[in-house]
Amino acid sequence: MEALKYVIYIGASEQVVWDILTKPEGTRQILFGSVLVSTFEVGSEYKYIGPGNDGDETVHVYGTVLAYEEGKMLSCTEHAGPSYRENHAEFESRMTFTLETVGNCTKFTLVNDNWTPNNPSYESTQASWPMILSNIKTLAETGKTLDFGW
């Protein structure tokens, strides 16, 4: 499975983009009502928790923080939550996002790689990243999210 790599430029500061990626006010808007729960210490667990199959506390994605630089970079393993597959722990990838100031913009790079062979989340992840990234960009630049009709 090939790495999924996306680079976008956002007309907002790194801090605005970082807050959207990590603070509850931002993640709820870009990730379907989910919040990111973590201490962000290398080796610690993180979870995206929100409304879903198991109620308001559904774990959608979880993993381990591999690297972290406040405001600049987060790298972690990634598993689909338990409500998506019984064998969810067997399938893993790595997600890394980095932020860099370019002029008056933020360069946002996302790499989702190191996929476990035959990972059943690959296709749905490949389809959802462009929507999530578009939502991040739109929210950072306009203060509103996109309406995908869901």
Instruction: Give tens-digit pLDDT for 91-104.
Output: 999 999 999 999 99
Which residues of the chain are modeled with pLDDT < 50? none
pLDDT at 48: 95
pLDDT at 71: 96
pLDDT at 75: 98
pLDDT at 64: 98
Say if residues 112 and 78 touch (Cβ distance below 8 Å).
yes
How long, in residues, is the chain? 150
pLDDT at 86: 83
The fold for domain 4-142 equals Alpha-D-Glucose-1,6-Bisphosphate; Chain A, domain 4 (3.30.530)
- Which positions ≥6 away from 147 have C-beta within 8 Å? none
pLDDT at 84: 84
pLDDT at 88: 87
Q: Which of 39, 88, 86 is nearest to 64 (CA)?
A: 39
